[in-house]
Amino acid sequence: MRLLSLNQKDGLCTFYNPFRNLNCYMSNDDLLGCEIRYAKDGWLLVSRGKSLFLLEPSPSSKQIIHLPRRTEDYFCDTLSFSATPANSSAWVIFGIACLNEYQVRISYLKAGDDNWTSMIMDNEVPFALSCSSPVYFGEEFCVIGDCTGDVGAFGFLEDGNPYWVIHQICPLYSPRISGAHRHFLVLRDQIVLYSVIVTREHNVRVYELKFGEYESVKLVKEVKNWLLFISEASSLLLVA
């Protein structure tokens, strides 16, 4: 596993191996002036102005999938995708932005679509996005709220219609959330979803989240052999 950082000015990619504490470097002209919006399974979702594309930056098998350009009414604070083109032919790209505490703008693009679909969805309760990127979990895109720790979920019904719901789990956190924190969602082995809270004093608390008929938020009291990486573009958890 390697962590990637990008110098936008010259397209220089730095790959960091956390197991060996080793850096490798690769110049990629395709990334000049670009911003990495999300990363998953070796693929990157990259923006340059209004242009978006999916990129597999491996030197041996570099692939680029150019996506439809964004329209004027399109704006996303955070983006992610459900699966890589190498793993699924039915991938979906998802983006979300807060218009106000009671409304969000959601945009998505399914594989094969010629244009983005954009819509305004109402929140049942006040909701503000954190800096964390969305996570695809249980066939839904999940985003965590700033300050509250509530989780918004976007998905598609069996008839194909989209839905947006907010899991009001703030009262379930123990200890309770208070003060200025940074909130992240992290997925482990595609089956367990965690809420990671970083306090202003740089203390870290990890909670295991469960949704469904009985929702729960469980504080993880002991962490053994975990490698946890959090960032605005993508976060991940590995068991070493």
Domain ranges of the chain: 71-239
Q: Could you tell me what percent of the chain has a pLDDT over 90?
A: 42
pTM of the full structure = 0.88
Average pLDDT (157-180) is 89
Q: Does the pLDDT of residue 98 top 80, yes or no?
A: yes
Mean pLDDT, the chain, rounded, equals: 86
Coil, strand, or helix at residue 83? coil
Q: With cut-offs at 50, 70 and 90, classify the pLDDT of residue 93.
A: very high
Q: Does the pLDDT of residue 136 top 90, yes or no?
A: yes
Q: Does the pLDDT of residue 230 top 80, yes or no?
A: yes
Q: Are 194 and 142 in contact (CB under 8 A)?
A: no
Q: Does the pLDDT of residue 71 top 70, yes or no?
A: no
Could you report the per-residue pLDDT of 17-68, keeping only the tens digit for each? Answer: 777 778 887 777 777 778 888 988 888 898 887 788 998 876 666 788 999 8
pLDDT at 61: 67
Give the CA distances from residue 40 to residues 1, 46, 55, in Å, rounded to whole numbers and listed in that order: 12, 12, 11
Q: Are 136 and 82 in contact (CB under 8 A)?
A: yes
Q: Which of 35, 26, 89 is nearest to 60 (CA)?
A: 26
Q: Does the pLDDT of residue 155 top 90, yes or no?
A: yes
pLDDT at 219: 93
